[in-house]
């Protein structure tokens, strides 16, 4: 028994759209307005979608349950598989003391939390997005930010905001390659058109990122660095997408942005340094004392720019080494090595040739019972009724999470 999709079940386009959007509104409202915990908010959103599907869009209950199971399975693999292995790598580096050293190396560039956020979430996160995508950059940069002292909530939320700039080109151009497959349009033409629009947003995103974390005042204090990060990302993004294609847009733009920002920060630091984020309280940069996303900082040091870069030895009250502890170049390289290995491995893992080779060994495709080819897309969405595939691609070898696991094992022995 098949079921045809209904696009206007209430005979009113606006009302039907409102009901279709209701699960998303419940989810976002629960998270952002009522501060419900993420897993409870997700359950509320799921429950709302089940009710809307069965009562408004008249989808059969068996298909609704099969669809929910399909979504849960996809959440476990590949998304959960990515997160699990990134956490494994993080714990590995943390137990070896490498993460603390990595934190010091970033703090050696700047102790300012806002600038660290730009470096890690925006520039480095874009590189991870370009190399492997599929949720990996949020997991990787979130882990690094937590290690730097950000709260888990702000680390994940801010990483998601930062990922807005590179996500359209995704893992080696995968989103546009998928779009080309659906539309039949020329891939390079699609790349060029996206590359002419997205750079404007790439300039806005780093400002939005810092505003969400530090408030308007906190953003204005470091606007030169934000501008450097945005321009050095947007310009290569435009050039590569228009004159090469979608494959290396994020990788090249991220490398240029990261190098430009690090170089700029060698010559410039803000007069007011934000340090040691806390989970509650009002951020100093937040207007009218309202907390920014990151919850502000418990210590804001006003000092000349020269002293902002001056190293200081010693330890923090909790016994940890201070953020400006000096390490040798080889020690810093060793701290970054697991993440360099991760970047290289996931880049290779994302190559079409690698995926084809690994999928040729084992990549079972599992049709979802009671759902696969039983839901029909109908005009005007398609020219003629078309059955929807519901197949779980269990590509356990070529999945990005497997690449991260291999990188973690290599890093453990490196």
Residues 155-167: tens digit of each pLDDT = 888 988 888 888 8
In a domain, 52, yes or no: yes
Of 327, 352, 379, the position where a domain reaches its end is 327
Q: Is the pLDDT of residue 364 over 50?
A: yes
pLDDT number for residue 309: 39
pLDDT number for residue 405: 92
If asked whether residues 107 and 43 sit together in one domain, one would say no
Q: Yes or no: say if 274 and 115 are a contact pair by the CB < 8 Å rule.
A: no
Q: Yes or no: say if 234 and 142 are a contact pair by the CB < 8 Å rule.
A: no
pLDDT number for residue 57: 95
pLDDT number for residue 140: 79
Average pLDDT, the chain: 82
Task: Extract the tokens encoding 78.
Answer: 């590949």
pLDDT number for residue 374: 94
pLDDT number for residue 319: 38
In a domain, 305, yes or no: yes
Give the chain's domain count.
2
Confidence of residue 145 (pLDDT cuts 50, 70, 90): confident
Confidence of residue 238 (pLDDT cuts 50, 70, 90): very high
Please indicate whether residue 185 or residue 405 has the higher confidence score (pLDDT): 405
Of 309, 327, 345, the position where a domain reaches its end is 327
Residue 204 to residues 75, 161, 194: CA-CA distances in angstroms? Answer: 30, 11, 16
pLDDT number for residue 77: 84
Average pLDDT score over residue span 247-275? 87
Of 286, 304, 327, the position where a domain reaches its end is 327
For 181, what's the count of Cα atoms within 13 Å in the CB-facing half-sphere?
6
If asked whether residues 9 and 140 sit together in one domain, one would say no
Average pLDDT score over residue span 267-288? 59
In a domain, 344, yes or no: no
pLDDT number for residue 305: 44
Confidence of residue 183 (pLDDT cuts 50, 70, 90): low
pLDDT number for residue 66: 94
What range defines the domain where residue 187 resides?
96-327
If asked whether residues 230 and 299 sit together in one domain, one would say yes
Average pLDDT score over residue span 219-239? 93
Please indicate whether residue 87 or residue 241 has the higher confidence score (pLDDT): 241
Q: What are phi and psi of 389, to 5 degrees?
A: -80, 140
392 in helix, strand or coil? strand
Task: Extract the tokens encoding 94.
Answer: 């943390």
pLDDT number for residue 383: 86
**H or E stretch at 200:** helix 187-221
Please indicate whether residue 384 or residue 79 has the higher confidence score (pLDDT): 384
In a domain, 45, yes or no: yes
Please indicate whether residue 140 or residue 314 has the higher confidence score (pLDDT): 140
Least confident of 37-41, 312-316, 377-381: 312-316
Confidence of residue 29 (pLDDT cuts 50, 70, 90): very high
Average pLDDT score over residue span 391-405? 88
In a domain, 352, yes or no: no
pLDDT number for residue 168: 85
């Amino acid at each position: 028994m098949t079921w045809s999709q209904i696009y206007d079940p209430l005979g009113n386009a606006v009302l039907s759209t409102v009901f279709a959007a209701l699960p998303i509104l419940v989810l976002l409202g629960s998270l952002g307005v009522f501060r419900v915990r993420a897993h409870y908010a997700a359950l509320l959103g799921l429950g709302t979608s089940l009710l809307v599907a069965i009562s408004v869009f008249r989808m059969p209950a068996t298909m609704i349950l099969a669809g929910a199971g399909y979504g849960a399975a996809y959440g476990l693999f590949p998304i959960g598989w990515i997160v699990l292995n990134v956490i494994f790598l993080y714990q590995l580096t943390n137990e070896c003391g490498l993460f603390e050293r990595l934190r010091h190396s970033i703090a050696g560039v700047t102790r300012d939390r806002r600038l660290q956020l730009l470096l890690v979430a925006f520039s480095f996160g874009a590189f991870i997005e370009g190399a492997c995508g599929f949720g990996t950059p949020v997991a990787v940069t979130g882990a690094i930010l937590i290690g730097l002292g950000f709260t888990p909530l702000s680390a994940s939320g801010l990483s998601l905001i930062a990922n807005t700039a590179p996500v359209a080109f995704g893992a080696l151009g995968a989103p546009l390659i998928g779009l080309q497959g659906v539309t039949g349009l020329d891939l390079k033409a699609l790349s060029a058109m996206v590359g002419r629009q997205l750079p404007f947003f790439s300039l806005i995103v780093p400002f939005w990122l810092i505003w969400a974390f530090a408030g308007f005042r906190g953003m204005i204090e470091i606007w030169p660095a934000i501008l450097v990060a945005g321009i050095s990302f947007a310009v290569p993004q435009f050039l590569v997408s228009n004159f090469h294609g979608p494959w290396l847009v994020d990788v090249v733009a991220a490398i240029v942005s990261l190098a430009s920002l690090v170089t700029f920060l060698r010559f410039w630091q803000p007069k007011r340094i934000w340090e040691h984020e806390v989970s509650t309280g009002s951020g100093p940069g937040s207007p009218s004392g309202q907390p920014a996303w990151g919850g502000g900082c418990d210590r804001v040091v006003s000092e000349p720019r020269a002293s902002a870069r001056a190293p200081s030895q010693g330890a923090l009250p909790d016994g940890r080494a201070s953020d400006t502890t000096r390490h040798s170049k080889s020690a810093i390289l060793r701290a970054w090595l697991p993440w360099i290995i991760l970047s290289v491995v996931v880049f290779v893992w994302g190559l079409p040739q690698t995926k084809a080779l690994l999928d040729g060994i084992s990549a079972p495709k599992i049709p979802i019972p009671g759902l696969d080819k039983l839901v029909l897309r109908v005009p005007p969405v398609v020219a003629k009724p078309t059955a929807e595939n519901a197949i779980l691609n269990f590509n356990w070898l070529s999945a990005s999470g497997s690449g991260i696991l291999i990188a973690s094992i290599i890093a453990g022995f490196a």
